[in-house]
Structure 1
Amino acid sequence: MLKKSLFFFSIFFFTLTFISFAQKQKAVKTIIIDPGHGGADQGADGLISTEAQLSLAMSKKLGDLIQKELPDVKVLFTRTTDIIPGNSRNKNEGLRWRANFANDNKADLFIAIHLNASGAHYERRQVGTTTKRIAVFTGKGKRKKVSSYREVEIPVYQRFKLNNTAHGSGTYILARDWY
């Protein structure tokens, strides 16, 4: 009986100790979604849209999905229209406004959505010509024979890569400690 009581007491003490040292995981209550760019700062240009337009559309879809799947989580956006966040005068003010917005709302998670251009594209330019000799035939079937030769100039092209000159986004500023 004493062994049984000692065993249960040990299990109880171990469980109590384990629970007291285990950290409780903090629940996510507020998520801020930041569609990149906006307003005068449109970001990378695509064939039919800009980075600002695409990131805004993607952000709205993500926000809808989060609200649908996690109804108890508050979802906030740094912008919902095509403006610089906070209706700021320039993008640097907009970046600072984003950081302050996240801090003021005590965001548990900050999701910044940015896109980049699809890298370099290739161009070509004519760098010269080459001459090719082709045969001119007459007749049909078995009676087909070479009647003459003709020289044709064929352009020679060089393909070269145009690098994407866009540099990284300045939103890395949001990860820094401002205070």
Structure 2
Amino acid sequence: MNARRRLLRMVEEGRLTPEEALLLWRALTPQEATSPSAQVVPTLRKSTRPKEQIRLLAGFRVLPWVVGGVGLFCFGGTFWAAMWGGAGWLLGLLCLLPVGLLGLLALGVVWAAWRGAWVRVEIRRPEDEAGQPFRLALPLPVGWLPLAFRLARPWIGEALPLEGRNLRQMLQVLRQEPLW
């Protein structure tokens, strides 16, 4: 019994859906079938629908470190000039703006440690109405990469192509009962 008849029988018995049979037929015939017996399967062309994209982007943001460095330079330079330079206006500036300078320093250092390195998992689904990818952005100060993957796992599973899941199920059927 050839593969086409076997597939049709499995669809009639309810062991495969027509979509699964079509995907199996595509997997079994790498080139587009042109024989008259291939007319049973309605469409044998490869799908032109774009696949879902899953990307892991890791990088380094410079701006938080620049802000932290500027804050440290301003605070340190002003403090050094006030202590050793003897300039009265610097002492006044130091007295008027200590909270601002310390705040800038603290903000820059904390921001640099928290957001200076980052991990983002992007999942793009072409069929989404909004067309916006789901983004999971996490800071990576020390060893956050496993947590990023753990949190993104459900969305990554949903974004896997449907054909891939069906093909895995079909390959299990093939292992149980070969088509030829």
In which range does the TM-score fall when normalised by the shorter chain?
Answer: under 0.3
| Structure with the largest fraction of strand | 1
TM-score (norm 1): 0.23
TM-score (norm 2): 0.23
